[in-house]
């Protein structure tokens, strides 16, 4: 049986410190038919040279170079240049377990042609590939998930996806406007939502993705992500106008509630925290009040673990991501503060999906069409291999 070609697209900006390890985790995949495209997004370090050296040693790797334009533009450019019917985005500092792609392809095949993407669970890793943390809960959402995904980003990152090229193109590709507005971060989440609007979703219930976080960047990352999430909600309102207003209200209330807790515990800005909570009440009073207690307890726990030394792992203990059992992980989703609303929205997924599915006469995504031939600012390929293994 002929294996579908999977195009792995790696946008890289000044990723010299981590790119080799990321590439090694892709090259170690047990799934045989892959091509690897590294998109150098205007790096000023040795990223391009490192990628070119890897391409000379492995015929599956191609390197493309373009002026810096952000992760969305880089991913779109890489996917335009790729040939696979399946696409797997991967950040240049993240890692994959060797069986990630093989297990996702199996789930996608079982889900049939209406399944748009498959995700995996993930673990946070540090600069040395060691375990930092895992999500406090693990979701098992699959099938029609748009409403629940809007309320709770259960995928959590952009490196755990395997998606059909047709679904990616139908959604219009990654949205570069967030980066242009200084709020890069939710391009992955927005794309996942736009795909989930008209396609089903699958999951591999194993921790097969290592998502890298650095301690020094966490605070700035949190602020940027909050801005990006609010802008993303506006994109959803505009591009999927049939989204139920109560779902959007609860989603915004939950977001502002989390932001209030971050301002209180991480930024030490109680006045701003109070303002954010009042805005959450304005979005959806009852949900905001009900969510506040669990969010507060969750934030206290996070604050204690972050700032009190006795809660940290013993010095010298290291848990390398690639050595961990991918089947062992977090608490079930029932422990999440938003579980009540996730259950309620689950009951509405089917009718909402059918109300806008292709050919039903229902709603369509308002988007700029994604075209493989769309003109880009790409510089000619700097290192390539003409023959890609597609057996």
Per-residue pLDDT averaged across 184-188, rounded?
86
Give 137 or 50, the one with higher predicted confidence: 50
**Segment among 60-69, 173-182, 240-249, 280-289 with least mean pLDDT:** 280-289
Max Cα separation, the chain? Answer: 62
Sequence-distant (6+) residues with CB within 8 A of 282 are: none
**pLDDT over 80 (residue 82):** yes
User: Please, which residues bridge with residue 66 across strands?
Assistant: 41
Average pLDDT over the chain, rounded to an integer: 79
Instruction: Say if CB 23 and CB 8 are below 8 A apart.
Output: no
Q: Give the Cβ contact number of residue 359 at 10 Å.
A: 5
User: Please, which residues bridge with residue 63 across strands?
Assistant: 38, 383
Write down the pLDDT at residue 39: 98
Write down the pLDDT at residue 133: 76
The per-residue b/e assignment along 249-270, b for 16 or more CB within 10 angstroms, e otherwise, is bbbbbbbbbbbbbbbbbbeeee
Residue 72: both structure tokens together = 């969305």
Instruction: Say if CB 91 and CB 187 are below 8 A apart.
Output: no
Per-residue pLDDT averaged across 58-78, rounded?
96
Element (H, E) at 344: helix 339-346
Q: How confident is the model at residue 381 (pLDDT cuts 50, 70, 90)?
A: very low
Taking the C-alpha atoms of residue 375 and residue 358, their distance in angstroms, rounded to an integer, is 28
Residue linked to tokens 């002929």: 2
**74 CB-side CA count, 13 A:** 29
Per-residue pLDDT averaged across 245-262, rounded?
76
For the stretch 301-336, pLDDT in tens is 555 555 444 334 443 457 888 888 888 776 555 556
Per-residue pLDDT averaged across 275-298, rounded?
60
Query: Shortest CA distance to 133 belongs to which of 156, 165, 164, 102?
Result: 156
Write down the pLDDT at residue 300: 52
Residue 64: both structure tokens together = 């493309």
Give 80 or 352, the one with higher predicted confidence: 80
- Burial bucket for residue 241 (CB in 10 Å: 0-12, 13-18, 19+): exposed
For the stretch 336-362, pLDDT in tens is 666 677 888 888 888 888 775 443 333
Length of the chain: 391
> Is 55 in a helix, a strand, or coil?
helix
Q: How confident is the model at residue 129 (pLDDT cuts 50, 70, 90)?
A: very high
> Is 38 in a helix, a strand, or coil?
strand
Which DSSP category does 337 fall into? Answer: T
For 76-97, give the secondary structure using H, E and C: HHHHHHCCCCEEEECCCCCEEC
Taking the C-alpha atoms of residue 309 and residue 64, their distance in angstroms, rounded to an integer, is 45
Query: Shortest CA distance to 329 belongs to which of 188, 154, 64, 123?
Result: 123
> Is 204 in a helix, a strand, or coil?
strand
Give 33 or 321, the one with higher predicted confidence: 33
Q: Give the Cβ contact number of residue 226 at 10 Å.
A: 20
CA-atom Rg of the chain in angstroms: 21
Interstrand relation of 115-125 and 162-164 (parallel, antiparallel or unpaired): antiparallel
What values do phi and psi take at 62, rounded to 5?
A: -125, 150
First to last CA, the chain: 9
For the stretch 131-178, pLDDT in tens is 887 776 667 899 999 999 998 889 989 999 999 999 999 999 999 988
């Amino acid at each position: 049986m002929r294996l579908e070609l999977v195009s792995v697209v790696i946008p890289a900006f000044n990723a010299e410190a981590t790119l080799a390890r990321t590439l090694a985790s892709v090259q170690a995949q047990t799934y045989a038919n892959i091509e690897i495209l590294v998109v150098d997004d205007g790096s000023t370090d040795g990223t391009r040279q490192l990628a070119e050296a890897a391409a000379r040693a492995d015929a599956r790797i191609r390197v493309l170079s373009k002026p810096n334009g952000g992760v969305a533009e880089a991913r779109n450019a890489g996917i335009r240049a790729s040939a696979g019917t399946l696409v797997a985005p991967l950040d240049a500092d993240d890692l994959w377990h060797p069986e990630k792609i093989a297990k996702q392809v199996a789930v996608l095949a079982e889900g049939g042609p209406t399944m748009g993407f498959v995700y995996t669970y993930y673990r946070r890793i540090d600069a040395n590939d060691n375990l930092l943390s895992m999500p406090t809960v693990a979701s098992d959402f699959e099938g029609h998930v748009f409403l629940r995904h809007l309320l709770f980003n259960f995928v959590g990152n952009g490196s755990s996806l395997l998606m059909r090229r047709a679904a990616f193109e139908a959604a219009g590709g990654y949205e570069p406007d967030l980066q242009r507005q200084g709020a890069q971060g939710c391009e992955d989440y927005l794309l996942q939502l736009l795909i989930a609007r008209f396609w089903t979703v699958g999951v591999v219930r194993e921790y097969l993705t290592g998502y890298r976080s650095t301690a020094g960047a966490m605070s700035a990352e949190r602020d940027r992500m909050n801005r990006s999430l609010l802008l993303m909600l506006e994109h959803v309102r505009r591009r999927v106008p049939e989204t139920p207003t109560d779902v959007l209200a609860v989603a915004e209330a939950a977001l502002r509630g989390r932001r209030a807790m971050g301002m209180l515990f991480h930024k030490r800005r109680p006045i701003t925290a109070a303002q954010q909570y009042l805005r959450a009440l304005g979005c959806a009073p009852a949900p905001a009040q009900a969510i506040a207690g669990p969010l507060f307890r969750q934030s206290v726990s996070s604050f204690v673990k972050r700032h009190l030394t006795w809660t940290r792992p013993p010095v010298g203990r290291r848990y390398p991501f690639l050595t961990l059992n991918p089947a062992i992980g977090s608490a079930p989703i029932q422990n999440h503060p938003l579980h009540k609303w996730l259950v309620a929205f689950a009951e509405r997924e089917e009718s909402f999906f059918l109300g806008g599915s292709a050919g039903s006469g229902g709603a369509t995504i308002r988007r700029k069409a994604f075209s493989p031939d769309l003109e880009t600012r790409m510089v000619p390929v700097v290192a390539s291999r003409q023959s890609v293994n597609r057996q």
